[in-house]
Structure 1
């Protein structure tokens, strides 16, 4: 099982919004889909940045239970479900599905997954699906159902308590091992920035709340 330095994962997550800033490991390929950002690095490391356009927010972040502009009830059989029967936030699942389809075309199975924000939501779905470890920063909640699921602890989720995004959507739940750190000072509206998450990783390691490396659980 591949293990990854949290410090290096934070650097990559911050650099993911402009892939030319990624020097090592090198970017081998990037997803060509117009609304989905994903990079495949050396060693088949999958890197997923968050939303970088209004269209991302409308198409993926704001679709917890919407398909085709139709609101669906939780009892509706047409809700998006995983093979485990898990009911997912359908926008996050749709985003993860685009990434998974791209990886199938590339004939690649990721060895490790790193994501921030929307990318961290997709990382939770994909680490469970592939059974590989991952790290998600500032992660929203993608799962509507509760209870243990196979590979449900593969993703390490690092959140800040002054960031509102990890508490959304309210009726959903995280998938993985969650560490919510209380920063000092608080950054409130700027807390979601990946640069502030890199700061909190260092603090979490000094206080023993976070490991130096992650290889899944």
Structure 2
């Protein structure tokens, strides 16, 4: 094997190496690129990343405002929706008779949003629900199940009717109602017409007793109570 030549370490060789210029490369020098230099004369340019980020934020804000506007319009439409709109819809679907339409026109200005179950029903709301369910059970079921109107459940209506005095004879609660209506608005309810009608009676055993009444009673199987601003009918 051949040995590597020893490098010269003398003082004269070291000094000569320091004075000798470094070897020049034959590759051409790279010229400076214009686009690599930072733009110092136009400081108002926009960064694409930041611009896209701002655009995304603006789009999210616009979508949020549109959603709030749509919800506000829906709330306004629900507030303006009254019982009259429901009656018109039922009439278009032939689920409402003219007689029932006349009875329910008295509640046409009642807002639907007040029928929510988070509070107690007022007397006017109870009368509307009872009248609609009594004369139009199919229409009542359609409004409650199909249109999702927060009407009380039929079992709730039965509980309300349990407090009504339905003993045989003249219904005194009806006369009390007429008296209250007359005191509230004497111009409309000052003069009313009380009409008595008859119907077939069949024997029925009643399992509930009132005060001063026997257990076994002969009651009418059908009891109808219709109240309107100008006419009251009470079949006996």
Q: TM-score, normalised by structure 1?
A: 0.24
Give the structure with higher Rg (CA): 2
Greater RCO (CA < 8 Å, at least 6 residues apart): 1
Structure 1 or 2: more strand by fraction? 1
Structure 1 or 2: more helix by fraction? 2
